[in-house]
Structure 1
Amino acid sequence: MNQQLQTINPTIKAAAVFCCVVMLSFIYNPYTPACFYVIIVVGVLSAARISLKKWLLFTIPFLILAAGCMWTAAVFGKVPTTADNLLFEAGPFEINRENALVGISLGFRILCFSALSMMFIFTTDPILFMLSLVQQCRLSPKLAYGIIAGFRFLPLLKDEVQIIQQAHKIRGGASENGLKEKLASMKRYTIPLLASAIRKAERTAIAMESKGFTGSRNRTYYRTLTVAPRDWLFFLLVLLLFSVSFFISLCFS
């Protein structure tokens, strides 16, 4: 992998992730996703400069989900348990080899999906991703810049909520200790937040029109993203690593 995954073109990175997700969806042996997951984790932690603590923290929910899927598939699998394929007994449940392999495959597939998603999220600037979709994938500029504007408004929305909460406290508003009070306060916040969002959207639209934004693709860009040979090398390398995982799994099958 490249030493800095942050420098890879976001569209190429997304295409690599999408291809891996599609290919993993059609592989049912547990060895390929298990091997590929190890490769992803080692590659991302060494190439993307992501701390191990941060990675493990975001992996915990997916580990719980994967464990639940593994247990469900192993216990309630379609293959009936016989004396020949019985693996072990867990109380009233009988686990056979075929259902256990299916459960392990589903669990590692979930972990692979999560690892690929975190790799993309942690190493990709969302603004550059939208610009890349416009410039490389011919996405409509109106849609792209609308999404970018909405993304920029998210921190402002949090500040607006805090301002409204402080205003209600100054004027002696009801407390928000219980669940019922919090739901009632959210209803009171809805109309002011909606009015503020409409005003911001209107000002943004006027500002974009005053700058000559018409939504046409025939325009110049402040930041121009290109697809370099290293981007294609990253794409091919990801597919190569997946192929290596698949051929390694054949040795264990």
Structure 2
Amino acid sequence: MIMVLVTAELAGAPCWISLTARDVAASESFYNAVLGWTFRRGSLGRAFSVAEADGVPVAGIAAVARELAVPVAWTPYFAVDDADDAVARIRERGGTVGVGPVAYPPRGRAALAVDREGAAFGIWEGRVLTEWRVGDGTAPAWLELHTADALDAALFYGETLQWASDGGTGCCEVSYEHDQVVLRYDGEDVARLNSGPVEEAAEKPQLRPRWLVHFRVRDLEAATEAAVEHGGTVVQEGAWPTRTRQVTVRDPDGALFTLDPSRTAPWPIRPDAQPSTRS
């Protein structure tokens, strides 16, 4: 039996990742071939699908790109205890709310926004699945923010999502480690914010500020080949330099994501990064 929590219990933490798509069936076919996911219809209607890996919920597909006039993209959602308050904080701190809050009864309410640099993210108020998790080294996915200034981004998200810092209280803790910002929930790493080269050029959307979703796969080469065979494209200059093997892919509908080998360390290490001093 799938158990649920309410977002007030984990406010500030990543609580879901969702693909905003145009066609549910086409997206299901692609990600089944690449990641081996199976799918079931959720409680939000025919336009929504829940992806599962070994029976555990992994991600959502929402065929609402045309309806909401938003780009096709993978988007992380962060839990908030009150969507209206969170939307107000986003706007007060220079972000832009593009959609919502929109009600999705009986589950909850959502909004889509972009931060000050243009990276898109979502907020969710309502019920979440307890089985779902991201980031901790064994989870099937993890999150990475590509942005010009990780410290500035951490201030924006920290104030917007009410992350704990400087001994304060909050569901998530922020740690500044050299040129990266680490977000932890319940003692586990759930996301990293990285400073690096970003561009606004339309011909290189993979280098724009963005939340990038990484999916772990057992066989990187096989997953990459399956992506290409089923209409995806390997993106050159798709990820910042790391010491781990990664492949950034654009799916047939245009959404970017990254494939990581499941046996690598959970977090890519930038070539110029120094060893962590955390205990």
TM-score bucket (shorter structure) = under 0.3
| Structure (1/2) with the larger helix percentage | 1
Task: Kindly indicate whether structure 1 or structure 2 has the higher relative contact order, using CA contacts under 8 Å at least 6 residues apart.
Answer: 1
Q: For the pair shown, which has the larger CA radius of gyration, 1 or 2?
A: 1
TM score, norm. by length of structure 1: 0.24
